[in-house]
Structure 1
Amino acid sequence: MDRTTVGVTLFGLLFIWATAAPTEKKQGVDIYSYHINSTIHSRYAITVITSRVENRLSESKEVHFQVKIPKNAFISKFRITIDGKTYDGVVQDKEEAQQQYSQAVSRGESAEKTSSVGRTLEEFKTSVMVGASSKVTFELTYEELLIRRLGKYQLLINVQPMQPVADLKIDVAIYESSKICFLEATDASDLEFGYGLTTTKSDKVAWVDFYPTRQQQTSCDNICGKNGLNTDLIITYDVERPNSAGEIKASDSFFVHFSAPTDIKRIPINVVFVIDQSGSMSGRKIIQTRWALLKILDDFAVDDHFGLITFNNRVDVWKPELVQATKTNLESARSFVRQILDQGDTDINAAVLRGVEMLNKHSQDRSASILILLTDGMPNTGETDTTRIQANVKEAIGGKFPFYCLGFGFDVKLDFLEKMALENNGFARRIYEGSDAYLQLQGFYKEVATPLLTNVKLNYTGAVNLTQTRFSQYYKGSEIVVAGQLTNTLETETTGTSKSSKVTYKHSTKKSTGVLLQDTYIRRLWGFLTVKQLLMKEKILNGQEKEAARKEAIDLSLKYTFVTPLTSMVVIKPQEQDVQVAQKPKEKERVNGAENHDSSGTSGPTLFVPPPPPPRPAPRLADPFYIGTHVRFLISSTGQQKPLCYDQPAPLNYRLLTDSSSDYFMKGKLLGHGFQETVFDFKANYHLKLSTKNIRYYDGLNDLTFLWEQEPTERHTDSVSLILKDNEMDITMGTIRVVFLRHKKNGEFFLWPDVKLQPNANIQGIFGKANLQYEELPGSVIKIGHEQVKATWSTATDYRRSSAPVLGCWLVPYESVLPGRLSNFILV
């Protein structure tokens, strides 16, 4: 080969090379060894992924190394060994790395940027040209501090070598100074591996080994295939806590203090939920939100107090003051939640300030207050300046209680929510759209639902350079972690307010001067935690304080070789001077309708990402004029009246039927002669998707696929009934029955619904009115309600029948027969 070409991507990873090699098929490239080794010392995990690959062909071949790492982690080392030479990455200030990138671009070398963010993982990719019958070794190291949530630590290791591997080994070693009381290893589908996995545990040490054979990597259920394993190995564990004052580890003049007292009674909570019900929350978002709130209401204790606020362009309060979680109040709250509907704009400022006002008016004595905001968009009415909103909220709360912000989906500006939460002792979290969104919401609430202490302060003598030492609240199942540098004998004092009184815990330990190789992790843990907290401070500070936090974060990142949002890892190949720049990504968001993956400011071409659908238009007083094709709908009339028909604009996605009382939602994509796809959601657990090719059904446990024209099939539960016969699908969910027929016209298939039963008068959507009564006036005028419209005698095909007969009908404007403005039923 003439020249070795190296390209690296890590979400914001930039590729720069002087020559570009074509991408070929993977044939002839063998990953003969793939090892993942993770070592955990007192919650601090260092994971090394090593992949050894051989090009067995007689010509050069592009070889790929692709892994996923936890978002909370920092890459600390990356190395490529090829042709007997090793190329190490060097961490630099991002601006310095950018200069090398810009110089490469100015020389005419290609430059690309890509990014791909999942819920908990970031993707790292590397490609390198390997000569005939040659080998390459990739080695990636990342580090993370495991966070205790709901009483467990979790280590997640993605296992996806991209092909079956003869030598595949995952080794995890856990070393704790307290007894390990719980250990479990599962895969992402929550099923324990039935092969190649062993767990061993002594008092303070545990091992997890996963050595699947090549055959096992292709023959297991769900997570295996011709490309080998594709799963996440999830290891959860916890330790005993015999000392309420906590656990201290010290070495190399550094210490870490873990505090998680359990001998305290739960503090009653005062919580206000501020729920976005604007138009952009339509469909699954609002259904999942209602479902989550109903579940959360079940978790309240009788001595808790709570309030519910919904908002769009106006603020609606369930009760003007917080009320006790009595049986009567909870039942009333459930009725309120079931009636939450989506419509209007988004006034975040007024809604949050109202929530603060309610909490401030309520007695805080012997209780803990929490404010929770759930929104899926940006403020577009009332106060819309995000900086002023943040200032208003911070002033109103005044540090009295934490504020948590949950951003639903990718239309929300998470940076705005994150700063607002951090300024008020809380945090922001994205809720990902999907069938488990309500579980994400419920899971978050469980983390903060059991406060044990408020106003927690940790004081230390004999130590400097401490990480955060003050916490507004401490919750059951979590853990407070403080690290610092020792100057003398360490004495600690932890104080806080419990349900009944103030509590104090004391602890002391001698300064350790000995340096054991395996104990250098305490120094790195301190560096990791300090950088994390400096990055959070940098987001909320201004002026010189912001610059000081930024500089300190950069200096520590360079010292500990962490790839952070402020640093980059540069791989410089000797002689040829090819440059690759690896950057810590920002989580993708939508900006002006397009996905924004990284704000590094780099120039040069980027990999093309298809733009997502445009944002939902703001509500209007009248419907816009839709240009495009139309599909003719028939609507039955009462008595012996002739049917009405109207032309519906297409192609568009429509809300077809919704029933808030039963969490029922049906939507459809109108295209061509009818619907190309329809989706049902019912009680959050049930999900049904009909396309012209097949039918997918998920009931919370089973994921089934049916084919049109297959043998007659029936599936029944207590509240759902599915009957498939040939090209007809009979669907009953709760009290609503709809029959879908599959038709074919001009060689194309399409779907059409026939609503058979909808006893609830509150059902909304395009098919919200099953029948319509009108009066026929002279001159081809139709009177519907109080409105008179000009009609034309026409025809329409009745696709609600398998025979699809052509019927005569009065053609009227769609505005006259729809139960509301058309824009109310359009989904994007």
Structure 2
Amino acid sequence: MCFCWFVCVCVCEYVYTDDWDIYSFHINSTVSSRYATTVITSRVANRMDESKEIEFQVRIPKNAFISKFRMFIDGQAYDGVVKSKEAAKQQYTDAVSQGQSAGIVSSVGRTLEEFKTSVNVAAHKKVTFELTYEELLKRKLGKYELQIHARPMQPVKDFKVDVYIHEKAGINIMEVKGGLSTNAMANAITKTHSDTQAWVYFYPTEDQQKTCDHCGEQGMNGDLVIVYDVNRDNSFGDIKKSSGYFVHHFAPSNLARIPKNVAFVIDQSGSMYGRKIQQTRTALIRILNDLAEEDHFGLITFDSSLFHWKRELVQATEENLASAKTFALQIQDRGATDINQAVLEGARMLNANPREGSASILILLTDGDPTSGVTNLEVIQSNVRKAIAGEFPLYCLGFGFDVNFEFLEKMSLQNNGVARRIYEDSDAELQLKGFYEEVATPLLTDVTMVYEGGINLTQTNFSQYYNGSEIVVAGQITDNDIGTFTPQVVAQRNRKVVNIQRVWAYLTVKQLLEKELRLSGPEKESAKKEALELSLKYSFVTPLTSMVVTKPPGESSDVLHKPKEGEAPQTPTSNVRQYGLMPSSLSLPLCYGVYGVVSLKLLHHPNKGQSFFSL
């Protein structure tokens, strides 16, 4: 049995005034075959004798793409249209005749972006806002977790949270946690689950919204968290096929772990002073406690110079771990930042320790730009790419908001890794340790997904597969002929219709955006063009597109855009009162296309040292 995890977060809030009444406030999340669709609806009435400008505001997961936005005023629907950023900006500029009402999607925190738009509502009239966003849920740390944060700032008479989950593999257990799951709210929560489906309803009364542990006169302020796991047999994946498309979820869990070689490269420059360096020391000691004896590791700290604990990787014996912890406790902030020299030394240590049947990992933690040694970012990226030469992944952890995150992200993607921002909160050491746990247990290396009869595939090569994660590949089936479609995995080791086509489009756009970031020249432009075309075709708001919201005549249009990581949030210039919204109630039947469980057997190739997962 294994546990699967995803986070799908919706934060909804507003500032209450006597000018209008939120008379309906709903959340609905539908998760089907790991693809989440959330529709958010909020209904508001202007109770004043004059028109007022009302702002619609919601927070959505950063990895989600907004695919639809609609306003209903006096029975008239006003739809947002996804266009290229340039076309949207031009339409916005042409439409603005007076005032500066603004609509944006802006980064506001660890996992959320904020969607805002505003509209003028006549006296004693009502407006309904409806937003749809989609997200392919990522498996992490072996569990699925649906988290909903509610802070309406006012008790709402018609307040509902509806959650529906469907997993073909079967739902083993389910529980509801979080700050809103308290004794005071016990009878407001209804949960049921059958073999393959689960429902959670959260309907607190107005009184309950004021009296729970995280409640008051301004209503609720807390989380509702639905946690569940699924049944897993001995197969190594499942494939769903529909309308000429397929999606393959590959998450084997009964494989033996591979010993790892890990080099930690830690920034101790002057900007890491105080809390950052303290949190880093604490996290590093916790991580060292989790190393297995068959693992090998190394520690490098750097400012303008390098400081080694040992010059080569050593085994994680009890004696070596005790010595490494002493070294970690003595890390002090000082000096400038020579990222180039430090990462190249980490790569050298790993390349000098090529243990057969093991997986190597390079982890960089820094909070700033390179200020010493080689400082040209493109030269550093080129040097690192040559030093690693595709042999192992590089994971870059950017501490705080001053770090050049785009530089770290590009360098990670160029070397089969990912970048993660570490927020300087009270739990930063837990964030660091949490990231390490995601890559702490490698099960496979050099994974290649092969699909005979498949075309237009998303990413099929993966440097490593970790316990608790999941590999997802989507594509089209040649000539829509399911009979000719055969998958194979090669690796090194010791109620709504599920729209498979949208899963493919989502994955393809995400991967093209990553490709565009790490490339240059004609290849960069080609990836950008393809990502733009798919974003427009499937109406996804991405960093290359914006959504133009056309308001009633006489009001300016809004442009809603998705920023890059770390981009400063924009602020509407109009002086509007704010209110929040809530996902709407959506109940749609579910059905599936052809569903197949792929039983894969692990076969060893004696000559090539490879293992094959075969049907």
For the aligned pair, the TM-score class normalised by the smaller chain equals 0.7 to 0.9
For 1:214, the aligned partner's letter is E
Q: Which residue of 2 aligns with 1:110?
A: 100
Q: Which residue of 1 aligns with 2:558?
A: 580
Q: Which residue of 1 aligns with 2:505?
A: 527
- Counterparts of 2:182 and 2:326, CA distance in 1: 37
Q: Which residue of 1 aligns with 2:269?
A: 278
- Counterparts of 1:605 and 1:29, CA distance in 2: 20
For 2:525, the aligned partner's letter is E
Aligned with 1:194: secondary structure? Answer: helix
Shift of the 28–433 alpha-carbon distance from structure 1 to 2, 3 Å rule, reads same
Q: Which residue of 1 aligns with 2:541?
A: 563
Find out whether 1:215 has 2:241 as its counterpart. Answer: no
Q: Which residue of 1 aligns with 2:146?
A: 155
Q: Which residue of 1 aligns with 2:532?
A: 554
Once the 2 structures are TM-superposed, how far is the Cα of residue 333 of structure 1 from its aligned partner?
0.3
- Counterparts of 1:24 and 1:173, CA distance in 2: 29
Find out whether 1:494 has 2:486 as its counterpart. Answer: no
8 Å CA contact retained: 1:453, 1:474: yes
For 2:203, the aligned partner's letter is Y
Aligned with 1:102: secondary structure? Answer: helix
Q: Could you tell me which of 302, 309, 320 is aligned with 1:311?
A: 302
8 Å CA contact retained: 1:147, 1:154: no
- Counterparts of 1:476 and 1:370, CA distance in 2: 15
Shift of the 140–108 alpha-carbon distance from structure 1 to 2, 3 Å rule, reads closer
For 1:220, the aligned partner's letter is C
- Counterparts of 1:185 and 1:49, CA distance in 2: 21
Q: Which residue of 2 aligns with 1:785?
A: none
Q: Could you tell me which of 323, 326, 333 is aligned with 1:342?
A: 333
Once the 2 structures are TM-superposed, how far is the Cα of residue 127 of structure 1 from its aligned partner?
2.5
Q: Which residue of 1 aligns with 2:419?
A: 428
- Counterparts of 1:147 and 1:188, CA distance in 2: 24
Moved more, 29-38 or 230-239: 230-239
Percent identity between the two aligned chains: 61
8 Å CA contact retained: 1:160, 1:230: yes
8 Å CA contact retained: 1:289, 1:438: yes
8 Å CA contact retained: 1:244, 1:263: no
Once the 2 structures are TM-superposed, how far is the Cα of residue 190 of structure 1 from its aligned partner?
8.7
8 Å CA contact retained: 2:449, 2:460: yes
Moved more, 55-64 or 489-498: 55-64
Find out whether 1:540 has 2:530 as its counterpart. Answer: no
Q: Which residue of 2 aligns with 1:170?
A: 161
Find out whether 1:201 has 2:183 as its counterpart. Answer: no
- Counterparts of 2:103 and 2:301, CA distance in 1: 41
- Counterparts of 1:190 and 1:293, CA distance in 2: 33
Q: Which residue of 2 aligns with 1:677?
A: none
Once the 2 structures are TM-superposed, how far is the Cα of residue 66 of structure 1 from its aligned partner?
1.9
- Counterparts of 1:365 and 1:221, CA distance in 2: 54
Aligned with 1:62: secondary structure? Answer: strand
- Counterparts of 2:530 and 2:573, CA distance in 1: 31
Find out whether 1:183 has 2:174 as its counterpart. Answer: yes
Shift of the 443–24 alpha-carbon distance from structure 1 to 2, 3 Å rule, reads closer
Aligned with 1:588: secondary structure? Answer: coil
Larger proportion of strand:
1
Cα deviation digits, residues 60-111 of structure 1 (max 9, x gap) = 2333322111111111111111122110111111110111233346x56536
For 1:583, the aligned partner's letter is H
For 1:414, the aligned partner's letter is F
8 Å CA contact retained: 1:423, 1:540: yes
8 Å CA contact retained: 1:70, 1:156: no
8 Å CA contact retained: 2:178, 2:223: yes
Aligned with 2:496: secondary structure? Answer: helix
8 Å CA contact retained: 2:397, 2:421: yes
Structure 1 segments unaligned to the other structure (5+ residues): 1-9, 11-22, 501-516, 590-595, 599-603, 609-828
Q: Which residue of 2 aligns with 1:451?
A: 442
8 Å CA contact retained: 2:102, 2:118: no
Once the 2 structures are TM-superposed, how far is the Cα of residue 390 of structure 1 from its aligned partner?
0.5
Higher relative contact order (CA 8 A, sep 6+): 2
Once the 2 structures are TM-superposed, how far is the Cα of residue 337 of structure 1 from its aligned partner?
0.4
Q: Which residue of 2 aligns with 1:45?
A: 36
8 Å CA contact retained: 1:245, 1:494: no
- Counterparts of 2:212 and 2:180, CA distance in 1: 13
8 Å CA contact retained: 2:150, 2:221: yes
- Counterparts of 2:62 and 2:222, CA distance in 1: 17
Q: Which residue of 2 aligns with 1:32?
A: 23
Aligned with 2:287: secondary structure? Answer: helix
Shift of the 79–605 alpha-carbon distance from structure 1 to 2, 3 Å rule, reads closer
Matches within 5 A, 1:674-713: none
- Counterparts of 2:396 and 2:477, CA distance in 1: 36
Moved more, 133-142 or 121-130: 121-130
Cα deviation digits, residues 385-430 of structure 1 (max 9, x gap) = 1110000000100000000000000110100000000000000000
Once the 2 structures are TM-superposed, how far is the Cα of residue 322 of structure 1 from its aligned partner?
0.2
Cα deviation digits, residues 99-147 of structure 1 (max 9, x gap) = 1233346x56536577451111111223222222211111111111111
Cα deviation digits, residues 179-227 of structure 1 (max 9, x gap) = 11232322268978634122211111111111111111111112x2222
Once the 2 structures are TM-superposed, how far is the Cα of residue 543 of structure 1 from its aligned partner?
1.6
Shift of the 188–357 alpha-carbon distance from structure 1 to 2, 3 Å rule, reads farther
Aligned with 1:536: secondary structure? Answer: helix
Structure 2 segments unaligned to the other structure (5+ residues): 1-9, 576-615
For 1:168, the aligned partner's letter is F
| Equivalenced residues, count | 558
- Counterparts of 2:569 and 2:114, CA distance in 1: 12
Once the 2 structures are TM-superposed, how far is the Cα of residue 575 of structure 1 from its aligned partner?
4.3
Shift of the 282–191 alpha-carbon distance from structure 1 to 2, 3 Å rule, reads farther
For 1:533, the aligned partner's letter is Q
Shift of the 438–452 alpha-carbon distance from structure 1 to 2, 3 Å rule, reads same
8 Å CA contact retained: 1:461, 1:491: yes
For 1:540, the aligned partner's letter is R
8 Å CA contact retained: 1:244, 1:260: no
Cα deviation digits, residues 767-786 of structure 1 (max 9, x gap) = xxxxxxxxxxxxxxxxxxxx
- Counterparts of 2:414 and 2:19, CA distance in 1: 55
Shift of the 295–435 alpha-carbon distance from structure 1 to 2, 3 Å rule, reads same
Aligned with 2:344: secondary structure? Answer: helix
Find out whether 1:361 has 2:361 as its counterpart. Answer: no
8 Å CA contact retained: 2:244, 2:476: yes
Q: Which residue of 2 aligns with 1:683?
A: none
Moved more, 407-416 or 61-70: 61-70
Q: Could you tell me which of 206, 219, 240 is aligned with 2:231?
A: 240
8 Å CA contact retained: 1:82, 1:137: yes
Larger proportion of helix:
2
**C-alpha RMSD of the superposition:** 2.3
8 Å CA contact retained: 2:171, 2:228: yes
Find out whether 1:79 has 2:74 as its counterpart. Answer: no
Shift of the 405–25 alpha-carbon distance from structure 1 to 2, 3 Å rule, reads closer
Matches within 5 A, 1:380-399: 380-399=371-390
Q: Which residue of 2 aligns with 1:484?
A: 475
Once the 2 structures are TM-superposed, how far is the Cα of residue 245 of structure 1 from its aligned partner?
2.6
Shift of the 356–538 alpha-carbon distance from structure 1 to 2, 3 Å rule, reads same
Shift of the 475–78 alpha-carbon distance from structure 1 to 2, 3 Å rule, reads same
Shift of the 188–315 alpha-carbon distance from structure 1 to 2, 3 Å rule, reads farther
Matches within 5 A, 1:620-631: none
8 Å CA contact retained: 1:148, 1:154: no
Aligned with 1:518: secondary structure? Answer: coil
For 1:526, the aligned partner's letter is W
Cα deviation digits, residues 143-195 of structure 1 (max 9, x gap) = 11111111112333332333211111111111111011232322268978634
Q: Which residue of 1 aligns with 2:593?
A: none
